[in-house]
Copies of this chain bind each other. A is one copy, B any other.
Amino acid sequence: MAENENTNSERSVPDPVLNRIPLYLRIAEDLQGRGVETVSSRKLAQALGLTDGQVRADLVFFGAFGRPGVGYQTQHLVTELRRVVGIDRAQPVVLIGFGSIGRALTMYEGFEKRAFEIVAVFDRDPEKIGRPAGKCVVKDVSTLPEEVARLGVSMAILAVPAEAAQRLADQLADAGVTGLMNFAPAALKLPDHVAVMNVDLMLTLERLSLRMKVANRLKR
């Protein structure tokens, strides 16, 4: 589970639409990989359990790429949506926390496939500072503000204990970070211009558990 906790009243595109855009991209990429040249809004809708109209309305938020009766050119849709999402070029990311989750992230091959690149890793543990972390070397978290400012990075991943999360998130926001993926089980309070996506694995497991219980109750 992940969700945006910001309540930015200025934002023009509803959250559910923002959540669906990368899904359209996945489907278009899959079709492109299989040599399918065009895709209808109906086909995109069916893949995600939506109506044709919803798909067209979602995509219109970012410019209308389809043609009536033809649908969307798959290649064009992929190119446009990559640009819209912001993965048409490499995106540098800093990682704070080299515990079990942070370590897994530095080993994860998915990042580069999606144009994200971890350019710096920080921890406060002297035992970890100086150790290799993917293509980086773990830096002292006390250098975080100046390093982030120096690198000019706007995206960060926070994989630290809950009690350290808010203070580090504040430092990141002050240093110019405008997007944060947060693994700490903490409700971060940040300025409106900072987007936050929370990944709370226990919350996800609890939501799964609840769904299992509800489904089980329906069966009876």
Given contacts A204-B181, A207-B18, contact A212 B199 (CB under 8 A): no
A143 in the interface, Cβ–Cβ < 8 Å? Answer: no
Interface 1/0 per residue, A144-188 and B, CB below 8 Å: 000000000011000000000000000000000011110001010
Interface residues of A (CB under 8 A from B): 1-4, 6-8, 10-13, 18-19, 21-23, 25-26, 47, 49, 84-87, 91, 93, 99-101, 103-105, 107-108, 110-111, 113-114, 116, 154-155, 178-181, 185, 187, 193, 195-197, 199, 201-216, 218-219
Residue of A8, A91, A207 ringed by the most chain B CB atoms within 10 A: A207
Closest Cβ–Cβ distance, residue A173 to chain B (whole Å): 13
Closest-by-CB residue of B relative to A49 is B7
Closest 6 CB pairs of A and B: A1-B2, A104-B104, A100-B107, A195-B211, A22-B206, A179-B212
CA distance A114 to B106 in the complex (A): 26
Closest-by-CB residue of B relative to A154 is B212
A84 touches B210 (CB 8 A): yes
A215 touches B155 (CB 8 A): no
Given contacts A1-B3, A2-B1, A213-B84, contact A179 B201 (CB under 8 A): no
Closest-by-CB residue of B relative to A110 is B202
| Residues in B whose Cβ lies below 8 Å from that of A187 | 47
Given contacts A1-B3, A104-B101, contact A204 B197 (CB under 8 A): yes
A199 touches B22 (CB 8 A): no
CA distance A17 to B83 in the complex (A): 33
Closest Cβ–Cβ distance, residue A125 to chain B (whole Å): 15
Closest Cβ–Cβ distance, residue A218 to chain B (whole Å): 6
Find A8's partner among B7, B113, B215 (CB 8 Å cutoff).
B215
| Residues in B whose Cβ lies below 8 Å from that of A211 | 4, 6, 18, 179, 195, 197
Closest Cβ–Cβ distance, residue A190 to chain B (whole Å): 12
| Residues in B whose Cβ lies below 8 Å from that of A4 | 207, 211
B87 touches A215 (CB 8 A): no
